[in-house]
Structure 1
Amino acid sequence: MIDATALAAKPVLEGDRIRLVPLAERHADAFHTTFQDPETRRLTGAHHHWTRAEIGAWIAECADRTDRLDLAIEDRESGAYLGDLALSRIDQDNAHGSLRIALVPAATGRGLGPEAIRLLLGHAFDRVRLHRVQLEVYSYNERARRAYERCGFALEGRLREALYWDGAWHDVLVMAALRPAGPAQ
């Protein structure tokens, strides 16, 4: 059904303004810095404060993982780190997985997130042959929700008060995109 070998082969995906490349040690400092930013932490719901050593150890494992795909988002011209995204929690029997994305603060609001998501969705649907990709977004992150909708994600449900952040409970919205209709694979 799906091509699980496509998760082991770490692609480079080229867009108009960005390039998705395998997450590597050269991205670790920028990755760590991104998750020290309070707004990034709020938008991603990241309670855990990862140390630079923990990030480095985790990134070192990414190249050998065959059950997920972790990619850095780089500026196509300069090679600057703009964020990362992952395709994980792959259910081979039901051909679906989960997507997560985080951008450096300077990269938000420029349409780079949707470009990265579309590149990854194309790979997930065409190469990995997933049928469905889902994500979770916090109810207070309207900008991300609109971007996901522009990429073909539809709201499927709400996990009421599933995130406790800054002294208040927030809903988690579940969204998914389906492989475009075409011949069955």
Structure 2
Amino acid sequence: MTLSPFARKPVLTGERTVLRPFTEADAETMAAIIEDPEVVRFTGGPASFAPERLRSWYGSRGAQDDRLDLAVTDRATGELVGEVVLNDWDPDHRHATFRTLVGPRGRGRGLGTEAARLIVGYGFATAGLHRIGLEAYADNVRARHVYEKLGFVVEGVRRQVALHDGVWRDEVVMGLLAEEWKAA
């Protein structure tokens, strides 16, 4: 059995952000973040979860050795503004999927970009991943801009995968390889 590179939950520090392991105490703040209309629109998820479910979810992230869920905090204030995740880990092919969400208080200040850069860098340099993939709605221009800045390239489009307010939405599939990350 392959030892998971995600068994240890690091604290990753940048100029603007600190990524840290989640605790149960983060559930209330994350509830407000995941209920934000923009987060709901671009994650495709339901707007609310039961408080006990969120406490259990965020409280259990540290025990998951097949994924890495980290809280994105504003380094200047310590405020929790979102999350970054490496999941769907495939140990045989050294691949994981990246996802993120940032609430309204973390947007427009470079926090999401730095958080994404930190966890992707960790995935390649420390976790030994060969490839990191992601999927994003084609109309999520802000997120796609961040991913492209990090070096992710469009690998394909899944057409009309989601119906939102009567409009069909495409999903863009993107990927980044370890050698591309190093070259950038």
Structure-2-length-normalised TM-score? 0.93
Is 1:40 the counterpart of 2:45? The answer is: no
CA distance, structure 2, for counterparts of residue 178 and residue 171 of structure 1? 23
Superposed CA deviations along residues 60-91 of structure 1, whole A, max 9, x for unmatched, are 22111000000000111211001011100001
- Highest RCO, 1 vs 2 (Cα 8 Å, sep ≥ 6): 1
Deviations 1:105-137 (A, max 9, x none): 121122111100110011100111001001111
What does residue 161 of structure 2 align with? 162
Aligned residues: 181
Query: 1:18-167 maps to which residues of 2 (within 5 A)?
Result: 18-47=17-46, 49-167=48-166
**Letter paired with 2:99:** R
Q: SS state of the match for residue 7, structure 1?
A: coil
TM-score (norm 1): 0.92
In 2, distance between residues paired with 1:182 and 1:19? Answer: 21
Unaligned runs of 5+ in 2: none
> % of aligned pairs identical?
38
* Cα deviation, residue 104, structure 1: 1.1
Does structure 1 retain, via aligned residues, the 8 Å contact 2:132–2:175? yes
Q: Which residue of 2 aligns with 1:17?
A: 16
Match of 1:106, as an amino acid? R
Residues 86 and 96 in structure 2, CA contact (< 8 A), matched pair in contact too? yes
Contact 1:4–1:128 (8 Å) recurs in 2 = no
> 2-side partners of 1:57 and 1:127: how far apart?
28
Please state how far the C-alpha of 1:182 moved relative to its aligned partner: 9.6
Letter in 1 for 2:136: V
* Structure-2 change in CA distance of 1:25 and 1:159 (3 Å): same
Cα distance, 1:182–1:83 mapped onto 2, change above 3 Å: closer
Structure 1: unaligned runs, 5 residues or longer:
none
SS state at 1:67 partner: coil
**2:20 is matched by which residue type in structure 1?**
V
Q: Distance in 2 between matches of 1:134 and 1:64?
A: 23
Deviation for aligned residue 1:48:
5.9
Which 4+ stretches in 1 moved above 4 angstroms? none
Q: What's the offset of the Cα at 1:180?
A: 2.6
